[in-house]
Amino acid sequence: MNYWIFQGNPDAYYFDSSINQGLLNGWNVKAHVNKILKGDKAILWLCGKNAGCYGLANIMSNPHGYIRDSEDLHLWNSNNETGKRHQIEDKITKIVEINLTHNLFTNGKYIPKDIIPGTTGPLETLRNRGFIQGTNFSANKEQYETILRLIESCT
């Protein structure tokens, strides 16, 4: 089993609306396409001003081609360059299907990068992640389980 950080840009995609409409069931993948597998686990991380962990997910499929339909096009911000690219140009991309196991998107209790304990140790790379270009990065079991304990202590 592998562990991943799936990073999203809230200026490009309206994650809260996606959750409320039951549409956050997949994630674009551009890196590690041949390594991400069904059964892996992901830390869902949003970058930007309120950077932090917004959830955990099980990966329910291997990466596969996906022809974007109109179901979630309205959730891509056309005023943002990344959102516009996904809305208009990125009609075919690789995605994995996900099952959100821990949802911090809608309850306002996400784990901000600033309260991740310590500047060293398993979460050092997450603490320093405000905005690093990319959609997915490798993580490890210790990072995932540390985030899981933080989430469980908040709920």
Q: How confident is the model at residue 36 (pLDDT cuts 50, 70, 90)?
A: very high
pLDDT of residue 44: 92
* Amino acid code (one letter) for 20: N
**Does the pLDDT value for residue 34 go beyond 60?**
yes
**Does the pLDDT value for residue 38 go beyond 60?**
yes
Q: How far apart are CA 79 and CA 85, in angstroms?
A: 10
CA angle 101, 106, 108 (to 5 degrees): 110
**Does the pLDDT value for residue 41 go beyond 90?**
yes
pLDDT of residue 119: 43
Strand partners for 136:
6
Q: How far apart are CA 16 and CA 24, in angstroms?
A: 9
Average pLDDT over residues 38-53: 89
- Residues in contact with 35: Cβ distance below 8 Å, sequence separation at least 6, in sequence order: 2, 138
pTM of the model: 0.84
pLDDT of residue 35: 96
**Does the pLDDT value for residue 67 go beyond 70?**
no
**Does the pLDDT value for residue 20 go beyond 50?**
yes
- Residues in contact with 143: Cβ distance below 8 Å, sequence separation at least 6, in sequence order: 3, 43, 122, 123, 125, 126
Average pLDDT over residues 93-121: 76
pLDDT, greater one: 119 or 126? 126
